[in-house]
Structure 1
């Protein structure tokens, strides 16, 4: 099955671009959204996380304590790896289930850490990178998440560099352009992807 892996650094505009593709009929499978669902109240990852990291990493409402886990993951490589070992297989299962059930013209997997996580590159037919410069990312995340600049820089340092992402890209959308230009680029790629989907 023809599919797309959409990626980009934090604050790059992935969600905006994915929503534009959805409007054109693509099925969007968002790994961040799946991860949130897994760590919400009643999420299947919650008891596993509680067992490994302790009950203090679970909020009173049954959700994962994201700020506490984020702080640990960025300061402890082993803890970050363990969290990934818990979540990634569950995310993969959900991705496969959603792809099978998808009714869109082709599926797009939105994977923020597609380049970093190795096996994703082999699981998609094309890699679409949503790109912007680092200062734009920092500004967007500070405004959206109300993070300090140092927090954003810490997150960026744990992600692939802009050059690394672009080196893996089959297609690139510049999210620093105005929305009408971004939408035009999406429409051009959509037609291209439709042709690939039909011929695959």
Structure 2
């Protein structure tokens, strides 16, 4: 059971997944908020029942699963509706992430939370011991988004602008991985942090 938990976050296309994979390769358990978001709305879950009640049974497919495309189109057309959905799903996601981290068998665990800053940071995720931000220049994010998703510069910039600013994320950080160049430059940073986190976890006994 891991008593020491690191929250990992970063802007879109900053390289979070690559950094997470490198921690996993070192034997660190990772709880992923994106996967948790899917898990909490599976058929039969309390969150899915609340979504059906709040937004109507039309948000479910014939097999009882969530119609993600329809719900996404609905909530992104209305800020109030998006907030209503987040009020249902976010607490369930946080609880699942915390449970997964507590059950991890590695000396410490990582909770990968892309929207940690937007969700309220430490005030909402008070059980995080440290926050690690994967930081990249906006120009780097823009280029990666366009290459990865095939989006044009206008759309890519809009996606970046929809998130918290680089400065807001860095204000949360206890630790920073700089990802402004070749992926191989990440390894030394990850290994250094891994060693530090092992020491901090060990100090908890």
TM-score band w.r.t. shorter chain = 0.7 to 0.9
Alignment of 1:94-109 (within 5 A): 94-109=96-111
Query: Which residue in 2 is equivalent to 1:127?
Result: 131
Q: TM-score, normalization: structure 1?
A: 0.86
Whether the aligned pair in 1 keeps the contact of 2:23 and 2:190 (CA below 8 Å) is: yes
Change over 3 Å in CA distance of 1:141–1:59 after alignment to 2: farther
Give the Cα–Cα distance (whole angstroms) in 1 for the partners of residues 179 and 63 of structure 2.
36
Give the Å deviation of 1:79. 1.0
Give the Å deviation of 1:150. 4.5
How big is each residue's C-alpha offset from its partner over 1:164-192, in whole Å with a ceiling of 9 and x where there is no partner?
11122111112222122101110011001
1:184 to 158, 182, 188: 188
1:70 to 50, 69, 72: 72
Q: Give the number of aligned pairs.
A: 200
Unaligned runs of 5+ in 2: none
Whether the aligned pair in 1 keeps the contact of 2:4 and 2:107 (CA below 8 Å) is: no
Unaligned runs of 5+ in 1: none
Q: CA RMSD in A?
A: 2.3
Whether the aligned pair in 1 keeps the contact of 2:7 and 2:130 (CA below 8 Å) is: yes
Alignment of 1:111-126 (within 5 A): 111-118=113-120, 119-120=123-124, 122-126=126-130
Give the Å deviation of 1:69. 3.3
Secondary structure, in 3 states, of the residue corresponding to 1:112? coil
Give the Cα–Cα distance (whole angstroms) in 2 for the partners of residues 197 and 25 of structure 1.
14
Give the Cα–Cα distance (whole angstroms) in 1 for the partners of residues 158 and 181 of structure 2.
26
1:17 to 13, 16, 19: 19
